[in-house]
Amino acid sequence: MLRKLLTNGHIRCARRFSSSKAIPELTKDRYNVKRGEYSLLTDGHMAFFMNLLGQNRVINDPSECESYNIDWIKNVRGQSRCILKPRTTEEVSKILEFCNENKLAVCPQGGNTGLVGGSVPVFDEIVISTALMNQIESIDEISGVIVCQAGCILENIDQQIGEKGLMVPLDLGAKGSCHIGGNVSTNAGGLRLLRYGNLHGSVLGVEAVKANGEILDCLSTLKKDNTGYHLKHLFIGSEGSLGVVTKVAIQCPTKPKAINMAFLGVESFDSVLTTFRRCKNELGEILSSFELIDALSLDVVTGHYKMQSPIPQFPFYILIETHGSCNEHDEEKLNRFLESAMGDGVVLDGTATNQPSKMKQLWELRESITQGLLMDGYVFKYDLSIPIKEFYAIVDVMNEKIGKDAVRICGYGHIGDSNIHLNLSFKEYSKEMHNKIEPFVYEYTSSLKGSVSAEHGIGFRKSKYVHYSKSPAAINLMQDIKRMMDPNKILNPYKVLPESS
Ligand code: FAD
Ligand code: 2HG
Ligand code: ZN
């Protein structure tokens, strides 16, 4: 039965998320990490920073420092006693030049919504927060290119350029908190990558500060620029290990005039695949999201938050969104697709809408899963690229291996991009369970030629597992690049790459 709710649509707006109250064990203890040979922060160093930024933009009060030391999912915790809040690229440059000369380690931080422990210090690294670097510098309404500082919050950019008929090509559940510099540094994927591509394509230029303080201006706003090596790519996805991103130029598409959504229930994973194939064929250029939610993932939000699912229970749910320029055309296409998919029993139930409030509710069901999972207790998160046919088998494999010891083992995510979010929740963290899950989950992924990080990055938690997805030669080259760009290893240490031998 199709519950039809079609009326004229508008764009949705994600809500701000906050995380739970539990305080995790110190990273150095939980993961047994040895501090690198960095200098200890002295009063002299602090005086330099105070002189550069003024008292208000240097945080050293321990209770104020706490939120900068703990990651969003409360997995890791550092002990920094110095948070710096520059406003300009030149201030970032002076900070890094000084830290490099004095061998002080730093941790760049945006909205601190990262899910792999990259955004907080491991020991006492100085946090360089982009929170005050929040200016949009230019919006070119004709080309759609915008230039902004790294600390602009994704949702704020989207709202501001929305007034000019543009949209940010990137969208994710953390949009109300994450910074565009953090997005670029993690090469964040999100909910509409299927349609708008990844940031390696839409970021036209980057300004970054190197470890020694030198400002690298690669802030091209040109769509085509084949002059030598494409250095911007070094900063897209390198998670603060090669430099601090200070500005970005992004190619933004036109905001769609017509948005439609459907939320469907299907009986099996095979039906999900059939639906995806048909959806691509029949919706073609207007398909902007194709997301999968399994029964236990939906149960997170209907259970913990008492959110209402618009359809009864099914083993799998599919969320589809279309972006187009003519609502009549898009609605007709979507309805034709739904009628045929339901007509022959591939899709068993569903709801379709272009009413803003209804679309917002549908997105909330999907976007609230991450936060809701934290209410189960401790969550082991895996963000994997897996060839689409085998996409869901990992949930069954983990169920067989871990079974009833877990509160929940569930899978959801961007199936349109072959990116599954495998989550295993337990009442509390246990080393024993950790060792049972890892490296098994990565070995399994690697055996399918998948990736151990599809979109969240490597951060602290996955650095020793990169080899499951990259060859020794590739890792060596990455280490050479790191040595060349950051010889004193001050940028985000203990993260991204395994220790070089
Ligand atoms: P942070 O968490 O502060 O930092 C992330 C990494 O980038 C760290 O290594 C940090 O050192 C580095 N960094 C930050 N700023 C800079 C800078 N200016 N220069 C150099 N390095 C820097 N991710 C996805 O890809 N897709 C999703 O759909 C998605 N959904 C999410 C939903 C929720 C509810 C949450 C909590 C997270 C989600 N994430 C998702 C993960 C996270 O939001 C992204 O990784 C995001 O890009 C991080 O941005 P941030 O500003 O919070 O960066
Ligand atoms: C999402 O797609 C995020 O919602 C978070 O990437 C995934 O919580 C997760 O595992
Ligand atoms: Zn995701």
- For every residue of 426-439, DSSP letters joined together read ESS--HHHHHHHTT
Q: Provide mean pLDDT across the span 128-151.
A: 98
- Residues 266-304 have pLDDT tens digits of 999 999 999 999 999 999 999 999 999 999 999 999 999
**pLDDT given for residue 403 in this prediction:** 86
- Residues 96-112 have pLDDT tens digits of 999 999 999 999 999 99
Pocket-testing residue among 19, 20, 172, ligand 2, by greatest number of atoms within 8 A of Cβ: 172
Report the chain's terminal Cα–Cα distance, integer Å. Answer: 61
The verdict on 349 and 274 lying in the same domain is: yes
Point out the domain boundary residue: 68, 101, 129. 129
Does 10 score more than 70 pLDDT? no
Pocket-testing residue among 192, 363, 369, 379, ligand 2, by greatest number of atoms within 8 A of Cβ: 369
Ligand 2 centroid – CA 476 distance (Å): 30
| Inside any domain, residue 382 | yes
The verdict on 107 and 204 lying in the same domain is: no
**pLDDT given for residue 22 in this prediction:** 74
**pLDDT given for residue 499 in this prediction:** 85
Ligand 1 centroid – CA 112 distance (Å): 6
Nearest alpha-carbon partner for 314 in 345, 339, 347, 338? 347
E-strand stretches of 50-181: 58-59, 83-84, 106-109, 126-129, 136-139, 145-149
How many domains is the chain built from?
A: 4
Nearest atom within ligand 2 for CA of residue 73: 8
Point out the domain boundary residue: 69, 97, 129. 129
The verdict on 77 and 40 lying in the same domain is: yes
What CATH number corresponds to the domain at position 310?
A: 3.30.70.2190
The parent domain of residue 229 ranges over 136-251
Model confidence band, residue 13 (pLDDT cutoffs 50, 70, 90): very low
**pLDDT given for residue 221 in this prediction:** 97
The verdict on 140 and 247 lying in the same domain is: yes
The verdict on 88 and 166 lying in the same domain is: no
Nearest atom within ligand 1 for CA of residue 115: 41
**187: which 2 tokens?**
């090469």
Ligand 1 centroid – CA 117 distance (Å): 10
| Inside any domain, residue 22 | no
Percentage of the chain modeled with pLDDT above 90:
94
Closest residue by Cα to atom 14, ligand 1, is 182
Ligand 2 centroid – CA 177 distance (Å): 15
Nearest atom within ligand 2 for CA of residue 419: 2
**pLDDT given for residue 1 in this prediction:** 55
**pLDDT given for residue 415 in this prediction:** 97
Ligand 2 contact, 370 CB (< 6 A): yes
257: burial class by Cβ within 10 Å (0-12, 13-18, 19+)? middle
Residue the block writes with tokens 């982009």: 130
- Give the global pTM: 0.96
The verdict on 331 and 393 lying in the same domain is: no
Residue 83 in contact with residue 48, Cβ under 8 Å? no
Percentage of the chain modeled with pLDDT above 70:
96
The verdict on 247 and 270 lying in the same domain is: no
Model confidence band, residue 11 (pLDDT cutoffs 50, 70, 90): very low
Ligand 2 contact, 173 CB (< 6 A): yes
The verdict on 197 and 232 lying in the same domain is: yes
The verdict on 437 and 463 lying in the same domain is: yes
Does 4 score more than 60 pLDDT? no
Does 18 score more than 80 pLDDT? no
Point out the domain boundary residue: 308, 337, 370. 370
The verdict on 162 and 84 lying in the same domain is: no
- Residues 32-71 have pLDDT tens digits of 999 999 999 999 999 999 999 999 999 999 999 999 999 9
User: Ligand 1 pocket by C-beta < 6 Å: which residues?
Assistant: 17, 72, 107-115, 118-119, 130, 150, 172-174, 178-179, 181-183, 185-186, 188-191, 239-240, 244-245, 370-371, 455-456, 459, 492
**pLDDT given for residue 21 in this prediction:** 56
Handedness of CA 261, 266, 268, 270 (dihedral sign): negative
Nearest alpha-carbon partner for 295 in 410, 149, 397, 157? 410
The verdict on 113 and 181 lying in the same domain is: no
| Distance from C-alpha of 409 to C-alpha of 398, rounded to nearest angstrom | 7
DSSP-H helix ranges across 212-268: 232-235
The verdict on 141 and 117 lying in the same domain is: no
| Inside any domain, residue 211 | yes
- Residues 198-227 have pLDDT tens digits of 999 999 999 999 999 999 999 999 999 999
Nearest alpha-carbon partner for 409 in 448, 436, 388? 436
- pLDDT, the chain, mean: 95
- Residues 336-348 have pLDDT tens digits of 999 999 999 999 9
Handedness of CA 130, 131, 132, 133 (dihedral sign): positive
Picking from 14-18, 191-195, 489-493, which range would have the lowest pLDDT averaged per residue? 14-18
**pLDDT given for residue 500 in this prediction:** 75
What CATH number corresponds to the domain at position 225?
A: 3.30.465.10
- Residues 356-392 have pLDDT tens digits of 999 999 999 999 999 999 999 999 999 999 999 999 9
Ligand 2 centroid – CA 370 distance (Å): 6
| Distance from C-alpha of 74 to C-alpha of 66, rounded to nearest angstrom | 12
Q: Provide mean pLDDT across the span 171-182.
A: 98
Q: 206 or 8, which is more confident? A: 206
| Distance from C-alpha of 145 to C-alpha of 190, rounded to nearest angstrom | 20
| Inside any domain, residue 168 | yes
Ligand 3 centroid – CA 463 distance (Å): 19
